Structure 1
Amino acid sequence: MAATSTRAKNTISLKGSSAIVAEYFNYAVNNILYQRGIYPTDSFRQEQHYGLSMMVSKDQGLTAYLQTVTKQMSTWLEDGSLQRLVLVISSAIGSKEVLERWTFVVETDKAVLDGGPPPEVPKESIVKDIQAVVRQITASVTFLPLLEDPCTFDLLVYTSKDSAVPTDWEESDPRYISQGEDMKLRSFTTKVHKVDTSVSFRTRE
């Protein structure tokens, strides 16, 4: 009897895709907070992710907060209710004006949500696309206005209206930027979730 050779398909499940996207959010937020100087540079450490050297916060409070948010987002990604994540950077003094608004828009394949077969996509392809987005975020300091004042940040999560929201979460206004400019960055897809990244920023007067 002749032998046959087989190989595992590069399929990705809804749960697996949700984990990849949530992880990306965590590292993207860390990268932005470092690049934009929201926290002191010595409060970050260098780690290897996606084949890149990335800066990750050592602050225990911030790390715990981001882990809580990304864990909840994983749940919303798995049920298809997560629509977007917005990182808002605002001045910590005076009028606390919104200076930057980083937006991650999520599209979910409804066929997979409805129990369809998991799509095939090489993990290397996903990692390559995420690398490109992270590199763009890192290079953003070359075109974004300098943040001269101390700044704070907030994370806004947009979900479907019927989503279950933890009791310790609260509603927020959208925190839009008045007379800002928009810059669209690259996107990536797991073929279950597609994530588009962009940044809006307040222009120099």
Structure 2
Amino acid sequence: MASKTATKDIITLRGSTAIVSEFFGYTANSILYNRGVYPAESFGRVKKYGLPLLLSEDEGVKTFIANLNTQLSEWLEAGKLQRIVLVIMSKATNEVLERWNFSIETDKEVVETGVLREKSDKEIMREIQAIMRQIASSITYLPCLDEPCIFDVLAYTDMDVAVPFTWTESDPKLIANPQMVKLHSFDTKIHKVDTLVSYKNDDEWDEK
């Protein structure tokens, strides 16, 4: 007699941390590519989350993102990370043009007790796919960045977290009267990530 085997996708704190920190690495690359912060020819194509994505081949960017992921993993696993913001600024003036905001909610019970959660890997991947597709289509709803730009990453942590020596305390690099677009979110059942992009609004009409 045939039998049916059922499996559950168990999510651990460490597993969720790996998913979220890896997501930030691919997301940062996708934003830098789609917003033209670095030349298109400096990116190589890879497949991730069932999608063709671009990764920077610039050694400085690769090192920056690798170090970022290591630090984010430490904060995520400790339940101390509240938000990550990727900021795009004018290279000439340091004016903030865009803020890609990723707010993080952490299941504190998991951090404190190590209890496990359940969620399908495929479901998590579908949620991440939706965010990646929105970033890829960002050129259709965000103003053109028609000047050389640079980027930085801000981390919002709990107050009791010591600032690593490789990081410095920063102002929030806000945009005055920004336009905002809310993107999709994804949830591992341990970490929930909400995504929002805010940008400088140049559509100011002269009243005559």
Q: Sort the TM-score into its range (normalised by shorter chain).
A: over 0.9
> What does the per-residue CA deviation read over 1:87-129, in whole Å, with 9 as the maximum and x for residues that have no partner?
1101111x32110000000000111112152111010000000
Work out which of the residue numbers 150, 158, 161 in structure 2 matches 1:160: 158
**1:47 alignment partner in structure 2:** 46
Judge which range, 141-150 or 162-171, deviates more: 162-171
Offset, 1:163: 1.3
Tell me how far apart the structure 2 counterparts of residues 96 and 165 of structure 1 sit (CA, whole Å). Answer: 23
**1:199 alignment partner in structure 2:** 197
Work out which of the residue numbers 117, 125, 128 in structure 2 matches 1:127: 125
Q: Write the mapping of 1:1-205 to structure 2, written as runs, cut at 5 A.
A: 7-93=6-92, 95-204=93-202, 205=204
Counterpart residue type for residue 198 of structure 2: S
Backbone CA RMSD of aligned residues:
1.6
Tell me how far apart the structure 1 counterparts of residues 37 and 7 of structure 2 sit (CA, whole Å). Answer: 44
2:163–2:169 Cα contact (<8 Å) kept:
no
Counterpart residue type for residue 59 of structure 1: D
Tell me how far apart the structure 1 counterparts of residues 5 and 178 of structure 2 sit (CA, whole Å). Answer: 54
2:54 is paired with a residue whose SS is strand
Offset, 1:8: 4.1
Tell me how far apart the structure 2 counterparts of residues 77 and 99 of structure 1 sit (CA, whole Å). Answer: 28
Unpaired stretches in structure 2, ≥5 consecutive residues: none
- Runs of 4 or more, structure 1, over 3 Å off, are 4-8
TM-score computed with the length of structure 1 as normaliser: 0.95
Percent identity over the alignment?
Answer: 49
> What does the per-residue CA deviation read over 1:129-149, in whole Å, with 9 as the maximum and x for residues that have no partner?
000011011111101000111
2:96–2:175 Cα contact (<8 Å) kept:
yes
Tell me how far apart the structure 1 counterparts of residues 49 and 166 of structure 2 sit (CA, whole Å). Answer: 32
> What does the per-residue CA deviation read over 1:1-30, in whole Å, with 9 as the maximum and x for residues that have no partner?
xxx976542110000000000000000000
Tell me how far apart the structure 2 counterparts of residues 90 and 125 of structure 1 sit (CA, whole Å). Answer: 34
Counterpart residue type for residue 54 of structure 1: L
Equivalenced residue count is 203
Offset, 1:179: 1.7
Tell me how far apart the structure 1 counterparts of residues 89 and 77 of structure 2 sit (CA, whole Å). Answer: 31
